């Protein structure tokens, strides 16, 4: 099988969540050509999913030696460094990715997540907004921005972003966030309905139970 066909097969496995088959495929491509940028970058991405951060870092550094202008590889190197606990290096990589491609939504998203974890809330907020500007359908950015606004008691804009997240990708965290925003904003009947719906969808949701009990008292 030609190298391109092997790579395509590995990518198909990766896309469908068959990580063992995908990893084996990427490694076969690299056994024939250790300088294949796509195989290096994609295997690095797969190893990030496995939380094998040290090996991912090595592969992504090799990928960047071949293509230093890859914003995607630079961003993924940032994720590897964050996983290794090197937040300073991770920040450098995310900023470098955005210098290469200021419209790379996932780079804005991951940088904002790092900033939020470091307690730099205002910068994180701007990062999530930049992500949404680059990709208005980025559900995770709407969700995380909603929770960041919720922490700052900005209930109305938080609710708007939770609504967007629910429309794009329905999830329990988005529904619960919407409930907290309604409760915080004094919309108690709406909050009861939302927490009741969350409990109906997941009877083991203790947070929804607690909030319903508080709203009933």
pLDDT for res 104: 98
Helix (H, G, I), strand (E, B) or coil at 38: helix
Model-level pTM? 0.93
Give the Cα separation of 96 and 128 in Å (integer).
17
- CATH superfamily placement of domain 1-101: Tetratricopeptide repeat domain (1.25.40.10)
> Could you list the mean pLDDT of each consecutive 10-residue stretch along the chain, which spans 217 residues?
85 96 95 95 97 98 97 98 98 98 98 97 97 98 98 97 98 98 96 96 96 91
Q: Where are the domains of the chain?
A: 1-101
């Amino acid at each position: 099988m030609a190298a391109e066909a092997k790579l395509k097969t590995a990518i198909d496995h990766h896309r469908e969540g068959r990580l063992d088959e995908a990893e084996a495929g990427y490694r076969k491509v690299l056994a024939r050509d250790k300088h294949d940028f796509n195989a290096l970058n994609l295997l690095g991405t797969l190893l990030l999913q496995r939380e094998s951060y040290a090996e991912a870092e090595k592969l992504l550094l090799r990928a960047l030696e071949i293509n230093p202008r890859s914003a995607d590889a630079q961003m993924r190197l940032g994720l590897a460094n964050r996983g290794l606990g090197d937040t300073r290096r991770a920040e450098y990589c995310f900023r470098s990715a955005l210098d290469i491609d200021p419209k790379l939504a996932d780079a804005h998203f991951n940088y904002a997540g790092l900033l939020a974890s470091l307690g730099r809330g205002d910068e994180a907020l701007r990062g999530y907004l930049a992500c949404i500007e680059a990709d208005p359908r980025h559900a995770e950015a709407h969700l995380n921005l909603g929770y960041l606004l919720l922490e700052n008691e900005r209930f109305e804009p938080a609710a708007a972003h939770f609504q967007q997240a629910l429309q794009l990708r329905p999830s329990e965290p988005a529904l619960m966030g919407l409930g907290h925003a309604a409760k915080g904003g004094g919309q108690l009947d709406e909050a009861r309905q939302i927490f009741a719906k969350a409990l109906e969808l997941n009877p083991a949701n203790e947070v929804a139970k607690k909030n319903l009990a508080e709203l009933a008292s």
